[in-house]
Amino acid sequence: MSQMIDFRVDPASYRHWKVEYSGPVAILSMDVDENGGLFEGYELKLNSYDLGVDIELNDVVQRMRFEHPEVKVVVMRSGKDNVFCAGANIRMLGGAAHSHKVNFCKFTNETRNAFEAAEKDSGQQYIAAVKGACAGGGYELALACNHIMLTDDSTSAVGLPEVPLLAVLPGTGGLTRITDKRKMRRDLADIFCSIEEGVKGQRAKDWRLVDEVIPNSKFAETVEARAQEFAASSTKADVKTGIIFNPLERAVTEDAVSWSSVKVDIDRAGRKATFTLKGPDETAPVDMDAFQAQGDQAHLLRLCRDLEDAILHMRLNEMEVGLWVFRTEGDPTILAAHEALVAANSDHWLANEVRQYWKRTLKRLDVTSRSLVAFVEHGSCFVGVLAEILFSVDRTYMMDGEFEDDERPLATITLTEANFGPYPMGNDLTRLQTRFLGEPELVDTARAQIGEALDAETADKMGLVTIILDDIDWDDEVRIFMEERASFSPDAMTGLEANLRFAGPETMETRIFGRLTAWQNWIFNRPNAVGKDGALQRYGTGVRGDFDLERV
């Protein structure tokens, strides 16, 4: 295995971001350490970034919501003179494996989406204070903010120069956000994305690329005033004390990775990994004060943190493990009680944040380019939010009836109100709505069974599982499925799964993860971009890329 990428960071170890907290306003400064690249062979000049920079940003965004719920406005700015952010580091992209580039773009997309949704989900608004050059991924950072402020001077401009300079596309949603979010005219967008130098001053505002253009002499005081103004008008409840995210405990061996509530067993010969999620052993806290007192050890929060880290670890560090199997262990009634507390207190800041965290983590699963299957076995606890995994995966197998020498409680699935709204997919539908797009009445049928422990036969009739198997057939059928899946082309599987998972309406998010990511994936394979004479390889040499001019 190549160098292991670790997604566990904490503020004391940040090399690229600095955060200053002042009541309801936080100042988030991007000050990238040139020598702090995740790998060797490039320098992160001009506030350019690699995956390591974005891992830190993801951590900042998460902690802002849990550790600093008092924050209502986040000002994102540069810690360097004359440059906001030059975007993804070109040397890193030029030298990275194709799989790393695509997973890098996916993770940065998820991070942008997380702080873009912070106002709706958590009442936190992000302001981009752009001073200096703001290009490519740098402008995409700004685009994900609620409000963009640009200095009106000779050096400050916004741009998406990937097409003319690199023969690729903006990889983290830039094209989609200028049209769908900022409602930029298509013809002006065509010009904007075809020029290297970007757009400055009043023209940037006229073209809807920024919200305000401010003289350099008044920029700092105007940004501060705007932040205070947004904070004063915020409807976010005042919360004085958050909870601390302590370092995640994780043990890595040759064939397994273990967290406190998740274990992943890796079968590299079979190209599969089995994720086992553990339900709580302890009874649910009596109220949200007791829940908050448990801090990051409250089971639903700890399980979510562990699962997210497991997903990210396996995505980037085990590229050839193409099949992920999900199973659970635990008492369904205890897990249901934990979830019921959070559901009954959804207006409590921490209960809301736990739910939003689960929503983001389940979305990570939806867009993971792996074959996903769930096994509902005896002794499992697929209840509520964990039942959502059953509707995220590509297939679900469930044990039917008693199995010889298996004394565990019979396999059941229990739906809760969590399956009918709090955890929408990127298409803005629930997973059950997406599942039953052609039979919407089955969603109502499922809703009528909330709280019932559904056995295999009932779950099968309701369409909640793919296949139910008895003791005679289970081992053989499961083995055949996994062997077959491992024999298929990974490229074909990625295309198949990504298409089938997102039925229904198209949204800005599905366009970013579906259409844009698919095209960027293809373009990153083309010689015009990554060949020895391609634009990405020749960048900085003064020689333009040598293009194959055939349109395909």
Query: In this predicted structure, what is the pLDDT of residue 502?
Result: 84
Which of 496, 519, 546 is the last residue before a domain boundary? 496
Q: Which two tokens stand for residue 486?
A: 């491992």
Query: In this predicted structure, what is the pLDDT of residue 146?
Result: 97
The enclosing H or E element of 133 equals strand 133-135
For 518, other C-beta atoms within 10 Å of its C-beta total: 14
Work out the mean pLDDT of the chain and round it to a whole number.
Answer: 96
Task: Look at residue 224 and tell me if it is in a domain.
Answer: yes
- Name which of 205, 182, 189 is nearest 130 in CA terms: 205
Residue range 470-495, pLDDT digits in tens: 999 999 999 999 999 989 999 899 88
Task: Look at residue 154 and tell me if it is in a domain.
Answer: yes
Both 291 and 377 in a single domain?
yes
Task: Please give the Cα distance from 274 to 267 (Å, whole number).
Answer: 8
Task: Look at residue 294 and tell me if it is in a domain.
Answer: yes
Which of 469, 496, 523 is the last residue before a domain boundary? 496
Task: Please give the Cα distance from 103 to 110 (Å, whole number).
Answer: 11
Q: Percentage of the chain surpassing pLDDT 70? A: 100
Residue ranges making up the domain that contains 349: 251-496
Task: Please give the Cα distance from 303 to 297 (Å, whole number).
Answer: 9
What is the biggest distance separating any 2 CA atoms in the chain, rounded to whole angstroms? 79
* DSSP secondary structure letters along 276-306: EEEPPSSPPPSSHHHHHHTGGGSHHHHHHHH
To which residue do tokens 């290009």 refer?
A: 135
Both 222 and 260 in a single domain?
no
- Name which of 60, 114, 74, 107 is nearest 88 in CA terms: 107
3-state helix, strand, coil in the chain (%, to 5): 45, 15, 40
Task: Please give the Cα distance from 221 to 253 (Å, whole number).
Answer: 53
pLDDT beyond 90 at 499:
no
Both 184 and 304 in a single domain?
no
Burial of 421 (0-12, 13-18, 19+ CB in 10 A): exposed
Both 271 and 187 in a single domain?
no
Task: Look at residue 541 and tell me if it is in a domain.
Answer: no
Task: Look at residue 6 and tell me if it is in a domain.
Answer: no
Residue range 384-411, pLDDT digits in tens: 999 999 999 999 999 999 999 999 999 9
Both 198 and 290 in a single domain?
no
For 60, other C-beta atoms within 10 Å of its C-beta total: 23
Both 208 and 290 in a single domain?
no
Query: In this predicted structure, what is the pLDDT of residue 1?
Result: 40
Task: Please give the Cα distance from 290 to 87 (Å, whole number).
Answer: 43
Burial of 463 (0-12, 13-18, 19+ CB in 10 A): middle
pLDDT beyond 70 at 359:
yes
Both 302 and 367 in a single domain?
yes
The enclosing H or E element of 74 equals strand 73-78
* DSSP secondary structure letters along 381-400: -EETTTHHHHHHSSEEEEE-
Both 175 and 323 in a single domain?
no
Q: Percentage of the chain surpassing pLDDT 90? A: 92
Query: In this predicted structure, what is the pLDDT of residue 519?
Result: 82
| Cβ atoms 117, 168 nearer than 8 A | no
Both 146 and 257 in a single domain?
no
Model pTM score: 0.96
Query: In this predicted structure, what is the pLDDT of residue 239?
Result: 95
Task: Please give the Cα distance from 453 to 459 (Å, whole number).
Answer: 9
Task: Look at residue 246 and tell me if it is in a domain.
Answer: no
Both 314 and 185 in a single domain?
no
Both 260 and 221 in a single domain?
no
Task: Please give the Cα distance from 500 to 502 (Å, whole number).
Answer: 6
Both 280 and 193 in a single domain?
no
Task: Look at residue 269 and tell me if it is in a domain.
Answer: yes
Residue range 19-65, pLDDT digits in tens: 999 999 999 999 999 999 999 999 999 999 999 999 999 999 999 99
pLDDT beyond 50 at 224:
yes
Number of domains in the chain: 2
Here the CATH number for the domain that contains residue 269 is: 3.90.226.10
The enclosing H or E element of 95 equals helix 90-95
Query: In this predicted structure, what is the pLDDT of residue 388?
Result: 98
* Residue range 410-417: mean pLDDT, rounded: 98
Query: In this predicted structure, what is the pLDDT of residue 516?
Result: 77
Task: Look at residue 530 and tell me if it is in a domain.
Answer: no
Which of 198, 231, 264 is the last residue before a domain boundary? 231
